[in-house]
C-alpha cells in the first residue's frame, strides 16, 4: 500500500497542508465539515496504487492550513482559488477534482469557474445545485420557518463556536455518529424547534460504529482542539455572499465528465429528494450516480471499498 506523506505548499496567498500519495495524473480531494484531509485516509493509498497522484489538503480554516479570521476570506471565490492554486503549486495543468460535503460545492464550482484546469469532477453527498432565485438564507428562513435549521444557526459568529468548542471530542462524536447510516437506521430525527442548538437531540453512541475508531476520533479531535471551529463555520456565513459574487453562474452547466456518490441514508439526500434529478439537468455529462445502501453522510469513510472502486473506475474511464 502506498505511503501517505505530508508537506506545506503556497496557494492563493496562504500556506496549505496537503497529504499525498502516489504519482501520475493528479486527483485533488476536498473534504467537508467538520473533517480534514484525514477523511480521505482510505482513498489516498487506493488511488496511488491505481496509478494516480492523490492529494488531500486541509482546506482553508482547518488543521495545518492557514485560518484567516475574516468571514469573507471563506467565500467560494477564495475556496476555488485555493483549489486551482494547488495545481499551480504542484506544476500540474489539470486535475480531477473530488469533493465531499462542503468539498462537493467547492469541487462543482471549481469545475465551473476553472473548466480548463479541472478535467473531471466527482461530488459526494451534495449534488450540484444551480444558482437559486434568491439569497440562500432568505430561502432557508422561508422553508424552515419555526423549525431549527443548522445553516441558519451557524450564521451568527460565536454561537455555534461556543457550543462545539466546549468539548470538541463530544461534539465530533455526536455529529459523526448522528449523521451516519448507523444512526439513521435507528430513525434519528433532525426535526426540532427553532430555538434548539446544533447538538441538541443528537445521540451519544455507547460504541462507535466500525468505520470510526477511537484513533480516528482522536485525530479529528486533535485538529479541532487546536484550530477551533470559526474557520469551518465561516464557510456557511458566505452563502449569501457567494450568491452575490457569482451571478454569472445563473443557468450554468457543468460540462466535464462527472460522477456522484452518496449514501442512501444521507440526510442531505433525504432533505432534498429531487436534488439528484435537478443535478442531472445541469450536469449533462454525469456518467454515473452511485447510491450506497446503508450508508449515511460520511460517504468515503463509511464505505471506503465501494467509494474507492467507483472513483478508480471513473478516473480510469476518462
Catalytic residues: 101, 297
- Are the C-beta atoms of residues 229 and 278 closer than 8 Å to each other? no
- Are the C-beta atoms of residues 14 and 82 closer than 8 Å to each other? yes
Phi, psi of 274 (to 5 degrees): -90, 0
Q: Is the peptide bond before 105 cis (omega within 30 degrees of 0)?
A: no
Phi, psi of 119 (to 5 degrees): -85, -15
Query: In sequence order, what are the beta bridge partners of 95?
Result: 118
- Are the C-beta atoms of residues 164 and 171 closer than 8 Å to each other? yes
- What is the CB neighbour count within 10 angstroms for residue 128? 27
Query: In sequence order, what are the beta bridge partners of 118?
Result: 95
d(CA 240, CA 138): 9
d(CA 107, CA 31): 10
Amino acid at each position: 500500500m502506498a505511503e501517505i506523506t505530508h508537506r506545506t505548499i503556497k496557494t492563493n496567498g496562504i500556506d496549505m497542508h496537503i497529504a499525498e500519495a502516489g504519482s501520475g495524473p493528479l486527483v485533488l480531494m476536498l473534504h467537508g465539515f467538520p473533517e480534514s484531509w484525514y477523511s480521505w485516509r482510505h482513498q489516498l493509498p487506493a488511488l496511488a496504487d491505481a496509478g494516480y497522484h492523490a492529494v488531500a489538503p486541509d482546506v482553508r480554516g482547518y488543521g495545518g492550513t492557514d485560518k484567516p479570521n475574516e468571514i469573507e476570506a471563506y467565500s467560494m471565490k477564495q475556496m476555488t482559488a485555493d483549489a486551482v492554486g494547488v495545481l499551480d503549486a504542484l506544476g500540474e495543468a489539470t486535475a480531477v477534482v473530488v469533493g465531499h460535503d462542503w468539498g462537493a460545492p467547492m469541487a462543482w464550482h471549481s469545475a465551473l469557474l476553472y473548466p480548463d484546469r479541472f478535467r473531471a469532477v466527482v461530488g459526494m453527498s451534495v449534488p450540484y445545485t444551480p444558482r437559486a432565485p434568491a439569497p440562500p438564507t432568505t430561502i432557508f428562513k422561508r422553508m424552515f420557518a419555526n423549525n431549527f435549521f443548522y445553516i441558519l444557526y451557524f450564521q451568527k459568529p460565536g454561537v455555534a463556536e461556543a457550543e462545539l468548542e466546549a468539548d470538541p471530542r463530544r461534539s465530533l462524536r455526536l455529529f459523526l455518529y448522528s449523521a451516519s447510516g448507523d444512526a439513521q437506521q435507528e430513525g434519528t430525527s433532525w426535526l426540532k424547534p427553532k430555538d434548539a442548538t446544533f447538538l441538541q437531540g443528537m445521540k451519544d453512541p455507547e460504541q462507535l460504529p466500525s468505520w470510526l475508531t477511537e484513533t480516528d476520533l482522536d485525530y479529528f479531535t486533535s485538529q479541532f482542539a487546536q484550530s477551533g471551529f470559526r474557520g469551518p463555520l465561516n464557510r456557511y456565513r458566505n452563502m449569501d455572499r457567494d450568491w452575490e459574487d457569482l451571478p454569472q453562474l445563473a443557468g450554468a452547466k457543468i460540462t466535464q465528465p462527472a460522477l456522484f456518490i452518496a449514501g442512501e441514508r444521507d440526510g442531505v439526500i433525504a432533505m432534498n429528494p429531487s436534488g439528484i434529478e435537478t443535478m442531472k439537468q445541469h450536469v449533462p455529462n454525469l456518467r454515473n450516480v452511485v447510491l450506497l445502501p446503508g450508508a449515511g453522510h460520511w460517504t468515503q469513510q463509511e464505505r471506503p471499498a465501494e467509494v474507492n472502486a467507483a472513483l478508480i473506475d471513473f478516473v480510469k474511464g476518462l
